[in-house]
Amino acid sequence: MVSIELKGELSELEKLPQIVTEFGQRHHLSSETLFHTNLALEEILANVILYGYDDNKEHKIHVCLLMEGGELIMEVEDDGLPFNPLDAPEVDIQRPLEDRPVGRLGIHLVRNLMDRLEYQRENGRNRLLMMKKVIA
């Protein structure tokens, strides 16, 4: 299991590739799984950092990665504004180029790349679990 605490700043996301790669090597995960793990974490964390805070205080985000029963579980816990990615509106990917909004794709990618998402708001904190089945 990997458990880390990141500051609520975008520059902290530079640490993600190394964290994910080391975890992946330990659990023999494919490069495709590592790509999707990195992407899911990046999208969720960037969302928290860019839109989750309405003050200038220092914030911490807790990230945990673990393998359980052939499933990769990622947990992200933050003290930002309530945000449930499961409630985010669907992006219409059929629209032509001109009508395609620039933005809102991150959550769409996470939903499609992960097998399951679970969200809870507890004690002023968002807790998101992202699950992905891993083929050994």
Partner 1 sequence: MDITQDRINSILILEISGRLDVTTWKTFEEKLLAPIDAGEKQIVVDLSQVDYISSVGLQVFLLAAKRMGHGNGKITLCALNDSVKRIFEIAGFTSILSIYDSRDEAIKNL
Kind plus residue range of the DSSP H or E element containing 40: helix 31-51
Cα 67 from Cα 46, distance rounded (Å):
23
What the block records as the tokens of 84 is: 């449930």
Stretch that binds partner 1, among 66-74, 81-89, 99-107, 117-125 (CB under 8 A): 99-107
Residue holding tokens 């990917």? 93
Least Å distance, CB 3 to partner 1, is: 22
Q: Which of residues 34-73 bind partner 1 (CB under 8 A)?
A: 35, 38-39, 42-43, 46
What the block records as the tokens of 125 is: 């904190």
Kind plus residue range of the DSSP H or E element containing 96: none
Q: Does 96 bind partner 1 (CB under 8 A)?
A: yes
Quick one: 93 or 136, whose CB is closer to partner 1? Answer: 93
Q: Does 98 bind partner 1 (CB under 8 A)?
A: yes
What the block records as the tokens of 131 is: 């699950």
Bridge partners for 90 per DSSP = none
Q: Does 21 bind partner 1 (CB under 8 A)?
A: no
Binding residues (CB under 8 A) for partner 1: these are 10-11, 13-14, 17, 31-32, 35, 38-39, 42-43, 46, 91, 93-94, 96-98, 100, 102-103, 105-106, 108-109, 112-113
